[in-house]
Chain A
Amino acid sequence: MSGNNKHHISYGTYILVWAALIAFTSITVTIAGVNLGRYTLFIALAIAAIKSALVINIFMHIKFDEPIFKVFLGISGATLFIIFLLTFFDYIYR
């Protein structure tokens, strides 16, 4: 998979992404202590999604890989999104 992947990511980028992940984690922890009502969950999920995207694209090199892997991940991601959506039909209307 990465054998023919010639794209080189600099250490600077890795450190920058790592710092961003730490920052997002801090925001998640901080927001958990603030009462935002039903928005708390959505904000936490949005931050988690951004963090996953960073890890998948940069650390896992998917951004620079063949399109087929993006399709595979896209299908998995879309399925996960629909599962969340359907679960919310229970939680929001319970």
Chain B
Amino acid sequence: MNRIIILLSLLINFMDSDNRSDQVITRQGQVSFFSYTSVENIEAKNNQVLSIVDFSKNEIAISMLMNAFVFKKSLMHEHFNESYIESDLYPKATFQGSIIDFDPLAEGIQTKMVKGTLTIRDITKEVEIKTSIENIDGTYLITGDFEVIVKDFEIKIPPILAPNIAKNISIKFRFEYQPYEK
């Protein structure tokens, strides 16, 4: 009788793991950036960032529309899209990378490095980002921050506006994932 119960529970576990998706998704990830200078502070948020994590390979992919960043002032939005990012020519920014030494089955918070490539304006740079990953009953929350150097992405800022824009831009992100049912 005991053997039958053990066998049944193993089978149920196997079926369960077979049905469990290895991928999680968010369509409403949040990415914010901040530029702090003595002249002015510029801040923008994008709340419609797409990200998929594949736990079978611990790979992460992120994609966002540059024109979906919301600024406090319309002039900032205009400069960002038309002059700096040129979002008509380069509408998306993407990131592809791997979460190093991550155990998706461990509950609670893990601090891990994510290594990968960030592409803005068709220019790709290697980045390494310290992230906090929280597993709450199979839903995952990934948060973190890092800096990008404006010059790395060949963003041209007119000399008259140079004092208004920081040379290093702080980026913050927050992704709350759900199982991805294809």
Q: Do the two shown chains form a genuine complex with each other?
A: no
Binding site for A on B (CB under 8 A): none
